[in-house]
């Protein structure tokens, strides 16, 4: 029986300033997802431990902002690079030439470590929708996949006042708020109302919103409905687990909440994977390799 070809995936990440101390383990988690490609647009240089499926495009922040301005036909030159979060849904449009030949494209933050992405984003799952969010009630800003079609690359233009929002110097959470409204509405209404709305707007059926519990310690309760979150997360040879769910693998672990505690400590040296024998352990105190 002939096997079904895996859809090709490319993840786009603009990042400027300085690589965080955990960048080596982020790169290692990309390496273990060898059938997926990443493109990083940055002024930070090529990270140590950079695998072959990660391409680094050396570009200054000002030049990258000019590129955005040209492709979106608006003025984009914010002082704070955090504004780039608003541009995430437009990355497929801005970098369309570099996505030729890929079936899916996505965006991602780097304050996370990937597990087995293909195990979660299976061929069957990717056939079902055009956008895949790893949170249940909005488009996930830290990771999202979209089908690489002209319709989906330009979908952000359907958001109300998108040009004004992206032109503003203020971060507006465009990726999670404005963009989400294209695909999910009436989320607090009765199911019959949501069903009726979808009959009149096909965009309400294009996306999957699935809570994967990859950002613990935040406002979303844990799998069991409580706020008793794992106290340890493990990255072991490309698999992400924790001390509460046993061998259940997660697509990634997003340590957004814990990293703020790490940054309050003394200057943390870049994580050295040279002595890593089997896994990296994440706690609210930091990351250790064992």
For 22-80, the three-class secondary structure string (H helix, E strand, C coil) is CHHHHHHHHHHCCCCEEEEEECCCCCCCCCCCEEEEECCHHHHHHHHHHHHCCCCCCCC
Residues 126/160, Cβ–Cβ less than 8 Å? no
Q: Which residues contact 107 (CB under 8 A, 6 or more apart)?
A: 11, 12, 13, 88, 89, 91, 143, 144, 175
CB neighbour class for 3 (10 Å; exposed up to 12, middle 13-18, buried from 19): exposed
Q: What string of pLDDT tens digits covers the 290 residues of the chain? A: 455 789 999 999 999 999 999 999 999 999 999 999 999 999 999 998 899 999 999 999 999 999 999 999 999 999 999 999 999 999 999 999 999 999 999 999 999 999 999 999 999 999 999 999 999 989 999 999 999 999 999 999 999 999 999 999 999 999 999 999 999 865 554 454 445 555 455 788 999 999 999 999 988 999 999 999 999 999 999 999 999 998 889 999 999 999 988 866 655 688 888 878 789 999 999 999 98
The CA distances from residue 217 to 20, 52, 87, 275, 284, in Å, are 21, 33, 26, 29, 10
For residue 255, count other CB atoms closer than 10 A to its CB: 24
pLDDT (0 to 100) of residue 41: 98
Closest CA to 85 of 73, 68, 63, 97: 68
Q: What are the residues facing 252 on neighbouring strands?
A: 114
In this predicted model, what pLDDT tens digit does every residue of 31-77 receive, in sequence order?
999 999 999 999 999 998 899 999 999 999 999 999 999 999 999 99
What pLDDT shows up at residue 265?
Answer: 60
Q: Please list, residue by residue across 100-139, b when 16 or more beta carbons sit within 10 angstroms of its beta carbon and e when fewer do.
A: eebbbbbbbbbbbbbbbbbebbeeeebeebbbbbbbeebb
Q: Which two tokens stand for residue 124?
A: 């069957």
At 186 the pLDDT is 52
pLDDT of 258 reads 95
β-pairing, 252-254 with 112-114? antiparallel
Helical (H) or strand (E) element with 180: helix 180-183
Average pLDDT over the chain reads 91
Domain ranges for the chain: 9-289
CB 165 within 8 A of CB 178: yes
Helix (H, G, I), strand (E, B) or coil at 128: helix
Check if the beta carbon of residue 253 is closer than 8 Å to that of residue 282: yes
Q: What values do phi and psi take at 80, rounded to 5?
A: -100, 125
What order do you get walking across the sheet with 239-242 strand by strand?
Answer: 239-242, 233-236, 279-283, 286-289
């Amino acid at each position: 029986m002939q096997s079904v070809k895996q859809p090709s995936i490319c993840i786009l990440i603009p990042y400027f300033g300085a690589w965080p101390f955990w960048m080596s383990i982020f790169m290692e988690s990309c390496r273990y997802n060898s059938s997926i490609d990443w493109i990083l647009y940055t002024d930070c240089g090529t990270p140590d431990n950079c695998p072959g499926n990660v391409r680094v495009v050396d570009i200054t922040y000002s030049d990258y902002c000019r590129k955005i301005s040209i492709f979106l036909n608006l003025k984009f030159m914010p002082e704070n690079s955090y504004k780039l979060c608003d541009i995430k849904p437009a990355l497929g449009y801005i970098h369309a030439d570099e996505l030729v030949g890929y079936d899916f494209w996505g965006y991602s933050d780097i304050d996370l470590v990937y597990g087995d992405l293909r195990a979660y984003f299976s061929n069957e799952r990717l056939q079902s929708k055009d956008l895949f969010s790893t949170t249940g009630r909005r488009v996930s800003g830290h990771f999202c996949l979209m089908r690489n079609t002209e319709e989906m690359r330009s979908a952000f233009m359907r958001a109300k006042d998108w040009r004004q929002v992206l032109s503003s110097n203020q971060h507006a959470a465009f990726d999670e708020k404005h963009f989400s409204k294209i695909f999910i509405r009436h989320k607090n209404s009765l199911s019959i109302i949501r069903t009726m709305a979808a009959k009149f707007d096909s965009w309400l059926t294009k996306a999957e919103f699935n809570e994967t519990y990859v950002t613990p310690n935040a406002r979303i309760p844990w799998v069991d409905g409580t706020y008793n979150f794992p106290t340890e997360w493990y990255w072991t040879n490309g698999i992400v687990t924790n001390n509460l769910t046993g061998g259940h693998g997660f697509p990634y672990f997003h340590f957004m909440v814990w990293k703020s505690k790490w940054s309050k400590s003394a200057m943390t040296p870049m994580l050295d994977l040279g002595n890593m024998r089997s896994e990296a352990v994440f706690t609210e105190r930091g990351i250790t390799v064992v």
